[in-house]
Structure 1
Amino acid sequence: MSAYRRKAAGAALAAVLLVGGATACENGKKDDSGKAAGASAQPGAPVADGSATEALAAAYKKTSAAKSAKVHMTMKMSGALGGGSVEMTGVQGWDPQVMDITMKGGLGRTGADSLRMVLSNDVMYMEMPADSPLSAGMDGKRWMKLDTKAAAGASGDAEVLKKLGGAGGMGGLTGTEQSQDPAKQLALLLASPNVKLVGSEKVGAADTRHYKGTLTFEEMLAANERSKALPEADRAKLTEAMRKAGIKGYDMDVWVAEDGYPARMKVAIGTPEGSLDMEAVYSDYATTATVQTPPENETLDLFAMLRDLGAKGAAAGA
């Protein structure tokens, strides 16, 4: 494998892990005060007569049925996850899970300012910019692809993936199927025993109502009436993902617009590798999220490249 192709493989995998980690298994580990990491000021008094729960339940049902939206997401990372911020803009679908986004920031290894990423059927495609020095290792092809399920299931190549992926390791890949769509985020907020209405606020030109709540791992384990908004199979998967990652809990905010859809969501997160703060602004719900994947003759198989790298490393050490 040429040095260019090795660098291209590492850069592409790092981008996949970043996106996977951003959309998967969001968590908020607590600091010594008992608040979730990155938590904002405490919300106001609970809303009387359960109106906060009723409003969020209605938003959950509507968002779940919408199945897709346009999204602009900002992430700020620290610790082993790296510094700085990353922006993702594009379309996201959650039934089925698809995305077509352009990522800016966190792309130092690629030598590019932005990177387009397409996800469909558990396969991630990354378009290497023509002006990137890494394009020299692409054999004239534009796209690199990674079958995330195949990669996560190939235990023999896990160490190779960890070495190239950095702190994220396999976590971003295995967590991709646990992707936190806005409907699930609302369901998690519904499961919070202390969800509250903060007040009325503007998000852009939209009038919204701002809700806030926290959810610990122990509260996630304890099934209650509110948590029934999240299907049991999804709740079980999320709970298991939290357990494996050592997650303590979530700290969530949502701004619900007058049309019943969440206009903005925010979550303060802590992971074993570092902290991650995410904020997403949504629009154009229920727009069909169809993505066009590149033809096979324009792609390089990242997983095959990683396996080749691992085989050559093993042969060299023999």
Structure 2
Amino acid sequence: MSRSVWKRAAVALAAAALLAGAAGCQDGDTGPESSGASATAEPGAQGSEKAAEALRAARTKASGAKSARVEMRLSVAGGTAPGSSTFTGVQAWGPQAAELKVSDSSYLAAIPGAPAETRVVTTGGTTYVDLGADLTAQTGGKRWLKARPEGAAAGDELMLQLTGGLAAVNMDLPKELGLLAGSSAVEHLGPAKGADVRAERYRGELPDGRTIEVWIGPDGYPVKTVVRTERGESVTSLTTTYADYGAEAGFRAPPAGDTVDVVELLKKVLAGGGRG
């Protein structure tokens, strides 16, 4: 495999790895009712204190459950590395962990030899991406790409572009609900419309500039979140739906001898160490 292809593969898979640690956001809809940027509060909506109370109650519920089954849709627009991916599986928080399948990914589709679908595991602050058989043959038999969120800073401009918004959405769901509840700009948008779930919608902006919309079901648990992050010319949107709170998963890291560090791989590629 050429240096340029290996570089693209390493960067794209690292982005998938870093995103897979994300613990909250929203799913699918692209209309005005699901976009935190365009939704508006309805007449008769709850006041800010009532909205904050609902979010604090949802934080307590999510914190007690410790995990949920999720479906996440990532979309990166603008910048040098636009694209999208879907993640399904189990997400946990406190401590943060995940066991997810990656599918419908424009990043994977752009990499020669990459599998159409793959697995990611996050545990102990590190995320691992299964490279699949073809790419494993290019790494000396090491099947898992290893990445940490802080490792993005050691990459080049493309790495920073591709992962720029992901650290912000790599969130602890109960913690973020608490921060949102404390936001002076939090508001109740009213009930969800045209959706197959009953939920009340809340939105606010955090000090770091992220806009978050949360859907809370009749049982008090979050059923959907939408996080929007802008960095330069890049806009990252992460939509997550939640179900089966308390779901369990293995969250086991692969053997150290079966992993290759993404930053080290990039260094070798940029130094001319890539195969091909």
Assess same fold via TM > 0.5.
yes
Q: For 1:294 and 1:60, locate their aligned partners in 2 and report how far apart those are by CA, in whole Å.
A: 32
- Residue 290 to residue 22, structure 1, CA distance change in 2 (3 Å): closer
Q: How many residues align?
A: 258
- Residue 38 to residue 211, structure 1, CA distance change in 2 (3 Å): closer
Equivalent in the alignment of 2:28: none
1:270 maps to 2:230? yes
Equivalent in the alignment of 2:29: none
Deviations 1:103-143 (A, max 9, x none): 2212112543222111111222111123x4x3330333432
Deviations 1:45-69 (A, max 9, x none): 5514832221111111221222211
Once the 2 structures are TM-superposed, how far is the Cα of residue 164 of structure 1 from its aligned partner?
6.4
Paired AA for residue 300 in structure 1: V
Paired AA for residue 129 in structure 1: G
Equivalent in the alignment of 1:73: 72
Once the 2 structures are TM-superposed, how far is the Cα of residue 14 of structure 1 from its aligned partner?
2.5
Q: For 1:197 and 1:126, locate their aligned partners in 2 and report how far apart those are by CA, in whole Å.
A: 38
Q: Which structure 2 residue ranges, 5 or more long, are not aligned?
A: 25-34
Once the 2 structures are TM-superposed, how far is the Cα of residue 165 of structure 1 from its aligned partner?
2.4
Residue pair 1:14, 1:166 contacting (<8 A) in 2 also: no
- Residue 164 to residue 277, structure 1, CA distance change in 2 (3 Å): closer
Alignment TM-score, normalising by the size of structure 2:
0.77
Q: For 2:160 and 2:52, locate their aligned partners in 1 and report how far apart those are by CA, in whole Å.
A: 40
Q: What is the correspondence of 1:243-254 to structure 2 with a 5 Å cutoff?
A: 249-254=209-214
Q: Which moved more, 1:251-260 or 1:298-307?
A: 298-307
Q: Which has the larger radius of gyration?
A: 1
Paired AA for residue 109 in structure 1: I
Paired AA for residue 162 in structure 1: D
Once the 2 structures are TM-superposed, how far is the Cα of residue 7 of structure 1 from its aligned partner?
4.2
Question: Structure 1 vs Structure 2: percent identity of aligned residues?
Answer: 33
Equivalent in the alignment of 1:237: none
Paired AA for residue 147 in structure 2: L
Q: For 2:165 and 2:36, locate their aligned partners in 1 and report how far apart those are by CA, in whole Å.
A: 21
1:117 maps to 2:120? yes
Equivalent in the alignment of 1:181: 172
Residue pair 1:98, 1:289 contacting (<8 A) in 2 also: no
Once the 2 structures are TM-superposed, how far is the Cα of residue 19 of structure 1 from its aligned partner?
4.7
Equivalent in the alignment of 2:15: 17
Residue pair 1:210, 1:255 contacting (<8 A) in 2 also: yes
Q: For 1:57 and 1:183, locate their aligned partners in 2 and report how far apart those are by CA, in whole Å.
A: 9
Alignment TM-score, normalising by the size of structure 1:
0.68
Q: For 1:72 and 1:251, locate their aligned partners in 2 and report how far apart those are by CA, in whole Å.
A: 19
Equivalent in the alignment of 1:138: 139
Equivalent in the alignment of 1:225: none
1:165 maps to 2:167? no
Equivalent in the alignment of 2:40: 42
Residue pair 2:79, 2:234 contacting (<8 A) in 1 also: yes
Q: Which structure 1 residue ranges, 5 or more long, are not aligned?
A: 27-36, 221-241, 243-248, 314-318
Q: For 1:5 and 1:67, locate their aligned partners in 2 and report how far apart those are by CA, in whole Å.
A: 42
1:277 aligned counterpart, secondary structure = strand
- Residue 14 to residue 54, structure 1, CA distance change in 2 (3 Å): same
1:145 aligned counterpart, secondary structure = strand
- Residue 146 to residue 186, structure 1, CA distance change in 2 (3 Å): closer
Equivalent in the alignment of 1:291: 251
1:59 aligned counterpart, secondary structure = helix
Once the 2 structures are TM-superposed, how far is the Cα of residue 263 of structure 1 from its aligned partner?
0.3
Equivalent in the alignment of 1:102: 101
Q: Which moved more, 1:260-269 or 1:16-25?
A: 16-25
Once the 2 structures are TM-superposed, how far is the Cα of residue 271 of structure 1 from its aligned partner?
1.2
Once the 2 structures are TM-superposed, how far is the Cα of residue 203 of structure 1 from its aligned partner?
8.7
Q: What is the correspondence of 1:21-32 to structure 2 with a 5 Å cutoff?
A: none
Q: For 2:5 and 2:254, locate their aligned partners in 1 and report how far apart those are by CA, in whole Å.
A: 22
Q: For 1:290 and 1:272, locate their aligned partners in 2 and report how far apart those are by CA, in whole Å.
A: 37
1:196 maps to 2:171? no
Equivalent in the alignment of 2:240: 280
1:137 aligned counterpart, secondary structure = coil
- Residue 285 to residue 25, structure 1, CA distance change in 2 (3 Å): closer
Once the 2 structures are TM-superposed, how far is the Cα of residue 265 of structure 1 from its aligned partner?
0.7
**Structure number having the greater helix percentage:** 1
Deviations 1:12-47 (A, max 9, x none): 343223453686799xxxxxxxxxx97113212551
2:189 aligned counterpart, secondary structure = strand
1:258 maps to 2:218? yes
Q: For 1:296 and 1:211, locate their aligned partners in 2 and report how far apart those are by CA, in whole Å.
A: 42
Q: For 1:127 and 1:6, locate their aligned partners in 2 and report how far apart those are by CA, in whole Å.
A: 21
